[in-house]
Amino acid sequence: MSLEQQLAKLREAGAKKVPEDKRAIMGRATQDLRDSGIMDGVIKVGDPLPPFALEDANGTVVESSGLLAKGAVVLTVFRGHW
């Protein structure tokens, strides 16, 4: 299964967990952001990421250079607990 297929499956499963009225609110908020032009300044698929250092869930600083030395990197951002 490709990464795109796996991500689509995750999106579908996540959508089932969120009530329809909440999904509508999130959908409108997402569209409002897109309409604002914010997408013009974000990194696109295939663009190189600038080097970064972030704390993981345990508070350990992880640097992109160290991750990239091991191979390809997929970066996921979690918004937090609902």
Does residue 76 lie in a domain region? no
Three-state secondary structure readout of 54-78: EECCCCCEEEHHHHHCCCCCCCCCC
Indicate the residue type of 54: L
Residue range of the domain that includes 62: 3-68
Does residue 46 lie in a domain region? yes
For the chain, the domain total comes to 1
Whether the predicted pLDDT of 69 surpasses 60:
yes
pLDDT for the residue 81 = 59
Task: Using pLDDT thresholds of 50, 70 and 90, give the confidence band for residue 80.
Answer: low
Does residue 33 lie in a domain region? yes
Whether the predicted pLDDT of 67 surpasses 60:
yes
